[in-house]
Amino acid sequence: MSVIDEIKRRRTFAIISHPDAGKTTLTEKLLLYGGAIHLAGSVKARKTSRYAVSDWMEIEKQRGISVTSSVLNFDYEGCRVNILDTPGHADFSEDTYRTLMAVDSAVMVIDVAKGVETQTKKLFKVCSSRGIPIFTFVNKIDHFGKNPFDLMSDIEEVLGIRSCPMNWPIGINGNYVGIYDRETNTAFIFIKDNAHGTKKLQVVSGKLDDSSIMELLDEEVLESLKSDLELLDEAGDPFNMDKISAGKLTPMFFGSAMTNFGVEPFLKRFLKLAPPPTERKTLEGSISPDNSDFSGFIFKIQANMDPKHHDRIAFMRICSGIFEKGLSVLHRQSGKNIRLSQPQQFLATERVSIEEAYPGDIIGIFDTGELGVGDTVCTKKHPVTFSDFPVFPPELFARLSPMSSMKRKQFLRGVNQLAQEGAIQVYSQPYVMESFIIGAVGQLQFEVLRYRLEKEYNVDVRIESLPYTTARWTASNALPEDLVGTDNALVVYDAKKRPVYLLPNEWQAGWLVERNPNIEFLDTPPMIPVNLE
């Protein structure tokens, strides 16, 4: 198979949603139908003793939530599929937003009963700003929910994007028994079983006038379906691939990830419609995936995927050229040549060593601490630089210290590694050696930090809340003695040794700005210049 053919068969996408809309469950069922697993687990494991493959951390299994993005690779019907299952909880938005930098499309999961929710709106906005095509999966249609036409209106009014239903639920008032595929004019009636969604669902399919279908549907359901389809044909938006690629139209699918309603038809159609890898913007211009010069960027660092070895894996999106095991590349941020060793692909924590990979692929690289989130790696002959990732300003601050001074070595290693992941932001104070100031977007990040330090590094810690809600950097890295009015600020230093001013509220931050008119203040760290030599 040629390099062009390998690129064209790649599908790299994220699954996004508000918490509890069914994102991780849908991911699990795509793995089931894709043949990557043979028995699906449950996010909360109520009906079975299995857990979702993508929720690999112990805390994820206990709480039934995703706290970190998972990378899942498999082959299906000629496509090489790279799924990135992202956290839905707002406290872990930063991890999700970084992950969205690495995809070519996104699947937006919506709860049929709740419609478009708060976190969905935020994630949609990020996808829209980056021009990422969005596909919609309306989940939980085995439960009572909104009318499908109302959901279409909800998507348009809240998100500002029109929708084009690719299939339509069969049933009345939320009592759905299957879906109707509009392209093939085929009805899929699902036969319920007692497997609780752990196995592929039995399906009866056929045209509406087939005897096998007519005997499963009563006349009222048939008439309601025909009426809905006529209205869609007359007043609905027609399928338009150009509008989908431009983010102006979202293909809409209905189903239930928990019971496997509509999952396989969605997977088959989505892989046909989803875009293969496309060109990426760099500071030097755009680079095409078929460019022979290798390039890629790091979008995620994960420590302790193998807790026994305290490993550190850098996740890289390949953007151009062919990756080969042991490839020597230029690390753009440091200007150093490094060798990318032990390349792997994943099914959550299950790893497979690889010899080569192509644009669109997500691979893991063993890292000793040289790589960071947002870093570019490329050939030295034709260097490129991918733009910096967004950094979220922390809103909560606390003092973090070990319960026992005998555990200081483990404490320092754990805090350092988790900070490099981007799980928290860590600040130091001059002459304070026994504790750190930590910043987070949400309270749950502190709880996950405590849990991981305890379980992965065997360190019990004390987390004491601090009365600060706002952080300010300065463009010139101005020192405290250069400023006026820092009495109410706590001065700390970030990982790059830049001074950071923590303040009780936005009013105090504004007052500091007014008192120092010649200083440019920033609510995120200033950009670090890339080594362009």
Q: Which tokens sit at 418?
A: 């988790």
The reply to whether 24 sits in an annotated binding site is yes
Closest CA relative to residue 313, chosen from 270, 362, 377, 246: 362
> What's the CA gap between 514 and 479, in Å, rounded?
17
Tokens 């980056």, residue? Answer: 130
Torsion of CA 376, 377, 381, 383, to 10 degrees: -10
Cβ of 223: how many Cβ atoms within 10 Å? 12
The reply to whether 19 sits in an annotated binding site is yes
The reply to whether 22 sits in an annotated binding site is yes
> What's the CA gap between 134 and 349, in Å, rounded?
27
Pairing of strands 134-139, 105-111: parallel
* Secondary structure (H, E, C), 140-177: CCCCCCCCHHHHHHHHHHHHCCEEEECEEEEEECCEEE
CB 378 within 8 A of CB 294: yes
Tell me the sheet residues that pair with 522.
Answer: 473
Distances (CA, A) of 160 to 116, 165, 178, 278: 12, 16, 29, 25
> What's the CA gap between 272 and 268, in Å, rounded?
7
Q: Which helix (H) or strand (E) holds 425?
A: strand 425-427
Cβ of 54: how many Cβ atoms within 10 Å? 29
> What's the CA gap between 509 and 501, in Å, rounded?
9
The reply to whether 21 sits in an annotated binding site is yes
Cβ of 370: how many Cβ atoms within 10 Å? 12
The reply to whether 23 sits in an annotated binding site is yes
> What's the CA gap between 52 and 44, in Å, rounded?
8
Amino acid of residue 175? N
How would you label 382-410 residue by residue, b for 16+ Cβ within 10 Å and e otherwise? bbbbbebbebbbbebbbebebeeeebeeb
Spatial neighbors of 125 by CB under 8 A, at least 6 apart, are: none
The reply to whether 48 sits in an annotated binding site is no
Torsion of CA 34, 59, 94, 502, to 10 degrees: 180
Amino acid of residue 482? D
> What's the CA gap between 389 and 297, in Å, rounded?
10
Q: Which tokens sit at 81?
A: 């599929």
Residues belonging to the binding site are 17-24, 85-89
Residues belonging to the binding site for GTP are 17-24, 85-89
